[in-house]
Amino acid sequence: MAYERNNIQELSAYIPGEQPENGKVIKLNTNENPFPPGPAVEKVLGSLQASALRRYPPPTAKGLRESIAHLHGVADEQVIVTNGGDELLRLAITCFVEIDEAIAVVEPTYTLYETLAKTHGCGFIQFHLEEDWSLPQKLAENLNSSGAKLCLIPNPHAPSGTLTDAASLSALAQEFEGILLIDEAYVDFVDPQLKHDCIALLSHCDRVLLLRTFSKGYSLAGLRIAYGLGSRALIDPLYKTKDSYNTDYIAQKLAQAALEDQDYARGSWSFVIEQRRLLQKSLEAMGFSCVDSQSNFLLVSMPSQLNAQKLYLDLKAKDILVRYFAQPRLDNKLRISVGTADENKKLIDTIRQLLDQ
């Protein structure tokens, strides 16, 4: 007999990317940062006392929250710290969307969004990206007609890596009558020359919620720390909805150390941007084509004679993991995370060997 709600019973669980225990695997499948956290994080980690753990952590992650607010020039009350980006996404849905309402996305997109909607039991409306991965025409108008309460847009986009500029998102936010959640999980890897910045949207529109995470840009995926930025009209009710102590003491301390060492973080982002450029060049030289990415991964289309799923399996057999999605528009492509210079070289050399066979 099944005891769970019908929507959970019908749900296929979200499948996270593979996390092999084999240490020799080159892991380019889940968009982790190829660099370790910096010396500031190491120092705080080395200074932690076990005795501090017997107490409950600050329930609103006070110290970290203040550092985040300071970095972005917003009020502390505009920041909510969450147990990874997953928690913020779930909170936004459960806080703002009744189960007889719906969220909207623009496909293809981060597959977790659909799982979260189905877990909540609300509706799920799909629009479709243009052929060049840009947002569709008249999106705001169509969102309004659809009655969507919340729209989730990853930017840079996953899994293509493309960036929608802030002006377009501002126009969308102004016209869309629901809440616009811009999932900026990968925003740290945008080329600084583009001067891309969506923080300013917060002062123009109280229906915009930005998601940032320490998992990618700050090399702390293991810690589960992310945050939301928005108006108090959005942040206050999210606080009421979250678990009372949602983030842990050590994660708060280490994330704060990472955030406050902007020099180290920016250095690692520059390196990823440079490696992304080199990796794209090498792949294109072998006949692959890549979508121009502002993220720490590349969406790579196969030359006509190659099958993406076969290449994924061949690479896996050589201990290199990349991501294959068996779904429309993506099934002739692989999503490859940008690794260290050595990892990227190993990837290129291995693909070359496979092509030569």
Considering only residues 179 through 218, tell me which ones interact with a copy of itself, judged by CB under 8 A. Answer: 179, 207, 215
Of 109, 164, 247, 295, which one interacts with a copy of itself (CB under 8 A)?
Answer: 247
Provide, rounded to whole angstroms, the least separation between the CB of residue 15 and a copy of itself: 9
Which span sits near a copy of itself by CB under 8 A: 65-73, 88-96, 102-110, 313-321?
88-96
Q: Which is nearer to a copy of itself, 44 or 135 (CB)?
A: 44
Q: If binding means CB under 8 A, how many residues of this protein chain bind a copy of itself?
A: 76
* Of 18, 71, 75, 12, nearest in space to 319 by CA: 18
Whether 95 contacts 241, CB under 8 Å: yes
User: Could you say whether residue 22 binds a copy of itself (CB under 8 A)?
Assistant: no
Residues 50-79 that bind a copy of itself (CB under 8 A): 50-59
Segment 285-314, which members bind a copy of itself (CB under 8 A)? none
| CB-nearer residue toward a copy of itself: 226 or 302 | 226
Cβ–Cβ < 8 Å for 28, 322: yes
In DSSP terms, which residues pair with 150 in a beta bridge? Answer: 103, 179
Tokens coding 328: 């429309």
> 135 near 106, Cβ under 8 Å?
yes
Six-digit token pair at 149? 């309460």
Smaller CB separation from a copy of itself, 110 or 288: 110
Q: How far apart are CA 207 and CA 174, in angstroms?
A: 9
Select the residue interacting with a copy of itself from 26, 28, 68, 83 (CB under 8 A): 83
Task: Kindly state the smallest distance separating residue 142's Cβ from a copy of itself, in Å.
Answer: 20
> In DSSP terms, which residues pair with 351 in a beta bridge?
none
Examine residue 344 and tell whether it contacts a copy of itself (CB under 8 A).
no
Cα 292 from chain centre: 17
Quick check: helix, strand or coil at residue 160?
coil
